A and B are shown apart, each in its own frame.
Chain A
Amino acid sequence: METLKLKYSIKDGDFSNAGNASSNIKKNLKMLGIDAAVIKKMVVSVYEAEVNMIAHANGGKIEVFIDEEKIKAILADVGPGIPDIDQAMKKGYTTASEEVRQMGFGAGMGLPNIKKNSDDLQIESIVGVGTTLTITSYFKS
């Protein structure tokens, strides 16, 4: 399989469309006949990250690369950055607004859940510049 690339732009504060990119990614992964368990883990991770991007990070872009051995999602935002990644990875730590909580999120479980659902998670963050998550799932891990 040649590398397939999907690309999405995410608008800041666009709560009504939160999940549209993740939904499209899921439909594409299903069409490729990828194992349902692998798809679920990847789209749960990407959905959590997409909501984060809309809620905290001024929007950004999502790119997904699929080849014969893995799915790699790169989510780059132009938000405030994460000053302390270790703290952000702790369950229950949150900076969420009331609006995010009304959507059923903002309990400080997003990043830990992304890590749990991925084979590899890389977080690069520069305060004042933005955060990039690279989420990788292998078909045979």
Chain B
Amino acid sequence: MRTIQNLLEPLQAKLHTGCTDVAIPEYAFGSDLMSDVLTLEDQVPLLITGLANTQSIRTAEMADIEIVLIARGKEVTKEMIDLANENDIVLLSSPFSLYKVCGILYQNGLKALY
């Protein structure tokens, strides 16, 4: 089984919360607009966003998103880490742009919702 651990190197990602032996999900969604994320009817296991504040983690909590990946090298704050820990959300960050992160994930088999 391929896990999040397999994505760390290609994304040059840092793991902030959770563990890396979680299976790579089938689908992902990328957006900086949390309103967009909250309108999704399908289950989204992984959110890619450049929005580095507590609302991206809150949105994940409300929408049952299991993994949040912060792009563009944005600083991940202690508040974000605490909130992710409290809600069992895997929190990662990558120095790459949202577009590049999405490309790498697509290459690794993660599909688009639509």
Contacts and interface: CB of A to CB of B under 8 A. Distances in A.
Contacts of B87: 23
A43 interface: yes
Given A19-B58, A23-B58, A47-B58, A40 B35 contact: no
B35 A105 contact: yes
A104 B62 contact: no
Interface in B24-66: 32-36, 38-39, 49, 51, 53-56, 58-59, 61-64
Q: Secondary structure at chain A's binding surface: helix, strand, loop or mixed?
A: helix
A35 B6 CA distance: 33
Contacts of A102: 53
B60 to A, nearest CB: 11
B38 A47 contact: yes
Interface stretch (A58-66, A107-115, A119-127, A130-138): A107-115
Given A104-B51, A104-B55, A40 B64 contact: yes
B32 A104 contact: yes
A107 B36 contact: yes
A66 B95 CA distance: 44
A40 B63 contact: yes
Contact of A16 (B33, B39, B54, B64): B54
Contact of B38 (A26, A48, A103, A106): A48
A104 B53 CA distance: 9
A18 interface: yes
A116 B63 CA distance: 14
A36 interface: yes
A107 B51 CA distance: 15
Contact of A43 (B33, B34, B62): B62
A51 B32 CA distance: 16
The 5 A-B pairs of least Cβ separation, nearest first, read: A104-B34, A19-B58, A109-B35, A104-B51, A47-B62
